[in-house]
């Protein structure tokens, strides 16, 4: 069986291929399937956005489709950037543009209030349109200086007090076990395992 992971992001597909390696599935992605259209993320929650993408690509391809939406919620910024995490600094902005905008907004706020979490929703949609959703979050703190060369997005400025490192400083195998995406993927993995055996 082929499972389409609804992303154009090579960093994300590498994470998912590792997370799903033990399932009896051929994991493919949008570029590999020649899919060039994007689905507008008009939902007000991560789950709504994940479902929009999963339904659209499942309908277009006839494949089981896995889509996620994830982002950073910062308490001192009333949950921003939230569902706008990837678009927070405008179109064509780099990862550094996005996290620098967040850091500029945090600058006047006391550091003790820089609590944050990454949140991830995974939607799995069958070719028939039947849908499944799981969610997970991953708490941490923002840091004012980017550190680490691993990961992508806001990883260099998301600090994990228990580990004394940012997400971007973690080795990929550790991040793939502990991140918000990993936790949501583990839940979706278990769900897929059940669905494959029913």
Tell me what the mean pLDDT of segment 113-132 comes to.
96
Q: Tell me: the pLDDT tens digits for 22-32? A: 888 889 999 99
The answer to whether residue 137 is catalytic is no
Tell me what the mean pLDDT of segment 156-164 comes to.
95
pTM of the complete model: 0.86
Tell me what the mean pLDDT of segment 136-151 comes to.
94
Tell me what the mean pLDDT of segment 179-189 comes to.
86
Residue 198: the pLDDT is 66
Residue 12: the pLDDT is 77
Tell me what the mean pLDDT of segment 173-177 comes to.
80
Q: Which of 69, 97, 144, 155 is catalytic?
A: 69
Tell me what the mean pLDDT of segment 102-109 comes to.
97
Does position 36 have pLDDT exceeding 70, yes or no?
yes
For the chain, the DSSP string reads: -EEEE----HHHHHHHHHHTTTSSSEEEETGGGT---------SSHHHHHHHHHHHHHHHH-SEEEEEEEEEEEGGGTT-BGGGGGGTT-TT--HHHHHHHHHHHHTTS-GGG-EEEEEEEEEEE-TT--EEEEEEEEEEEE-SS---SSS-TTGGGEEETTTTEEGGGS-HHHHHHHSHHHHHHHHHHHHHHHHHT-
Tell me the pLDDT of the chain averaged across its residues: 92
**2-196 CATH choice from 3.40.50.10860, 3.90.950.10, 1.20.1250.20, 3.30.450.20:** 3.90.950.10
Residue 181: the pLDDT is 80
Tell me what the mean pLDDT of segment 178-194 comes to.
87
């Amino acid at each position: 069986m082929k499972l389409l992971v609804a992303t154009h992001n090579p960093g994300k597909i590498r994470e998912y291929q590792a997370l799903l390696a033990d399932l009896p599935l051929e994991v493919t992605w949008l570029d590999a399937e020649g899919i060039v259209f994007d689905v507008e993320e008009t939902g007000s929650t991560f789950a709504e956005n994940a479902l929009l993408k999963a339904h659209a690509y499942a309908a277009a391809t006839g494949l089981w489709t896995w889509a996620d939406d994830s982002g950073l919620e910062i308490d001192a910024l009333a949950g921003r950037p939230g569902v706008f995490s990837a678009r927070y600094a405008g179109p064509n902005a780099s990862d550094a543009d996005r996290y620098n905008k967040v850091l500029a907004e945090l600058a006047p706020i006391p550091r003790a209030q820089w609590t944050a979490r990454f949140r991830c929703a995974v939607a799995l949609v069958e070719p028939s349109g039947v849908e499944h959703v799981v969610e997970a979050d991953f708490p941490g703190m923002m840091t004012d200086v980017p550190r680490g060369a691993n990961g992508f997005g806001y990883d260099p400025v998301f600090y994990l007090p228990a580990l004394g490192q940012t997400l971007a400083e973690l080795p990929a195998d550790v991040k793939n076990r502990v991140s918000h995406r990993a936790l949501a993927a583990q839940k979706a993995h278990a769900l897929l395992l059940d669905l494959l055996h029913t």
